[in-house]
Amino acid sequence: MNQHPSWRTFGVCLLLLAQAACSSAPKTDSPPMNPTSPVLSGNYEYNPEQAADANTHLGIEYMKQGSYKVALLKLEKAIQQNPENHEAQMTIALLYESLGKLDLAETHFAKTLRLAPDDASVHSNYGSYLCRQQKFAEAQQHFQLALNNPLYDTPELVHTNAGLCALRFNQKQQAQEAFQQALQSNPEFPVALYQLAELHEQSGEVAQADQHYQRYVKVARQTPQTLWLGVRIARALGERDREANYALLLKSQYPDTEQARLLHSSETGVR
């Protein structure tokens, strides 16, 4: 089954939570399709598999909007229509994790792995889940299983998930290598660009940080996290006009964020 683009990117965004990289997920200005619209086959007969696909994609969109109650209804309906739909099983597992229902999450992850044991996206998302449950070694095994699939067309997602997982365990060198591998697969992947810029800035490698940062801003929108990073990089480089520009954007567009507070503290010395 060809997988929906938002589905493949969704695991990365869930792991990142509020970090900047979620801006790389596919976006649409239109609302989800009418949830009451029937799904018909070519001969106008009800097709449960197509209906399950539609409800799964609706569930993903509602999750991205934070409408978890509606998302759960759509995903439950999808599984009722087609219990063999592994996208629905994986997505509802991620949703149950978000809701703190880990027993149900584990149940649906197990079903997903049974239904799609060779699917790279499944292993990548399950690896991210294991990482969030503090199971680093097991997570890395599933990331590697995903990468072992030569037909997977977006390995940058797996490398990025692996890098983010390594960061959770303060394995910065391993994380950096993973993000670099992600960029070898896709030189414009925003998540990896942002994370490498952060890592280089934290290490005092400001020129390298700026190189990745400039590449990031060409392909993705600014967020509180990226603007605060831009302020720090410009400040370290002594580029006052650029620093002031990033600072102004952060204050005006995201005044109530933690990054705006950090900026204020850095300017006033007040903590």
Tens digits of pLDDT across the chain (271 residues): 344 444 444 554 444 432 333 433 333 333 344 444 444 445 567 799 999 999 999 999 999 999 999 999 999 999 999 999 999 999 999 999 999 999 999 999 999 999 999 999 999 999 999 999 999 999 999 999 999 998 899 999 999 999 999 999 999 999 999 999 999 999 999 999 999 999 999 999 999 999 999 999 999 999 999 999 999 999 999 999 999 999 999 999 999 999 999 999 999 875 5
Please report the pLDDT score of residue 222 as a whole number: 97
Which of these CATH numbers, 3.90.1200.10, 1.25.40.10, 1.20.1250.20, 3.30.70.360, describes 1-20+34-117? 1.25.40.10
Please report the pLDDT score of residue 20 as a whole number: 35
Examine domains 1-20+34-117 and 144-220 and report if their fold is the same: yes
**Cβ–Cβ under 8 Å, residues 87 and 115:** no
Return the domain boundaries, the chain: 1-20+34-117, 144-220, 223-271
Nearest of 219, 220, 243, 218 to residue 230 by alpha carbon: 243
Please report the pLDDT score of residue 38 as a whole number: 45
Residue with tokens 């889940």: 129
Give dist(CA 3, CA 26) in Å, integer: 13
Please report the pLDDT score of residue 271 as a whole number: 53
Alpha carbon 101 to its chain's center: 20
**Number of other residues whose CB lies within 10 A of the CB of residue 181:** 18
Question: What does pTM read for this prediction?
Answer: 0.80
User: Is domain 144-220 annotated with CATH 1.25.40.10?
Assistant: yes
End-to-end CA distance of the chain: 52
Please report the pLDDT score of residue 10 as a whole number: 52
Please report the pLDDT score of residue 261 as a whole number: 97
The DSSP letter of residue 38 is -
